[in-house]
Chains A and B, each alone.
Chain A
């Protein structure tokens, strides 16, 4: 996967290390998710080292179960590194109701803020999506848009990564 971020992974590791984390290495989707986390580290969120990542078909939702504690404030950040791809993230309680209080999605990264009303298991919903562009398109589909140098053809799967922080 190609890194869509404007901040190289090694710079990001250094930035986070200055705040709370010291990453030996990061995969590219996690790197994008951590880039989304940077402003929140400055607000006192402690970002966890452990995380979730993988590859999936665009448009296929993912569900991650995770323990949250009432009294903490959480941000979950998701990232995908494929140029032009998007990602969404939301959090649902055990009944399937959305509990996100604030949300953003831009440039292959997304985030959601949660203040759990109960301690227990919650469900993170992640949706990586990609609309074909560049080399992945037929000449008719492409129109005036040329493939991006060095990116290559879309393989049919998207990388994704999710990290979280608490305070």
Chain B
């Protein structure tokens, strides 16, 4: 019996070794050839813990796909707004911060060192206004340096790091609402650029990139859950309405048409006019010196 068991174990060990070698992924003894995870899971009755945290993709994740599908004129999409003094309105500052970082990703696609440098400086100024100069300064300098060296991968990483540093610092200061607004500002500007590019050269394949109902629900819930001083401000209410309209278009359409994409662009534009772009015809807050 013992000999029989030894033989079985020996054969099993040999088969296991052959499987590991044939997998060739890492070639070490602990690599598994077949994933032990299930092939299917029941999402409606998940037996474990569902993690609440939403990681919002950076605009570069969509920009990368657009670049694979078509030649986009990124330089036409860069639109750095006038520097605005928001008079201590931290919610608008947070939204603008996120949108500026998104602008940086556009400038990277356009390979525009001068625009990236401007954005790097503006990010620092805004970081100072938010009381986070020491956290933002190293990133701002790194963005400018990498841009001068035309190291676009590094610029993208630093833009991501800048946003993450500011968001995590705000979360540590128990200012989760502002941290969420940074992500929202970036997402709105990213969507604004993507809808402009897709609207200019429409294809169903590109329009599919706008299928992001989970993110829109997340932002809507975030806005609805706001309890801070900005919760009832005009700009937050306008953004909430804009998100509801965006959600309606995306969830109602099986495939987004060219008209849908243009409508999405118009909505993102009007929400960005609450904190980023000039409102056409309306009085603007006093611009400060650049």
Which A residues form the contact surface with B (CB < 8 A)? 19-24, 46-52, 54, 56, 60-67, 69-72, 88-90, 92, 94-98, 100, 102-107, 112, 118-121, 123, 125, 127, 164, 166-167
Contacts and interface: CB of A to CB of B under 8 A. Distances in A.
Given A65-B214, A118-B208, A51 B32 contact: no
A103 to B, nearest CB: 4
A94 B38 CA distance: 15
Contacts of B39: 97-98
Given A66-B55, A167-B64, 15 more contacts: A46-B60, A60-B48, A63-B41, A63-B46, A65-B50, A67-B215, A90-B35, A90-B37, A103-B35, A104-B31, A104-B32, A106-B31, A118-B211, A119-B210, A119-B211
B153 A106 contact: no
A118 B58 CA distance: 18
Interface stretch (B156-164, B238-246, B279-287): B156-164
B61 A69 contact: yes
Contact of A63 (B35, B50, B65, B167): B50
B209 interface: yes
Contact of A104 (B26, B40, B161): B26
B46 to A, nearest CB: 5
Contacts of A64: 51, 53
Contact of A120 (B57, B64, B211): B211
A66 B16 CA distance: 34
Main secondary structure of the interface of A (DSSP, over half): strand
A100 B50 CA distance: 20
Contact of B65 (A72, A102, A121): A72
- Number of contact residues on B: which range applies? 35 or more
B55 A166 contact: no
Contacts of A54: 51
B49 A72 contact: no
B62 interface: yes
B227 interface: no
B238 to A, nearest CB: 24
A49 B38 CA distance: 28
A121 B36 contact: no
A64 B157 CA distance: 23
Nearest to A160: B51
Contact of B37 (A24, A66, A88, A164): A88
A138 B116 CA distance: 60
A115 B228 CA distance: 40
Pairs A-B, 7 closest by C-beta atoms = A71-B65, A61-B48, A90-B37, A106-B30, A49-B164, A121-B214, A20-B157
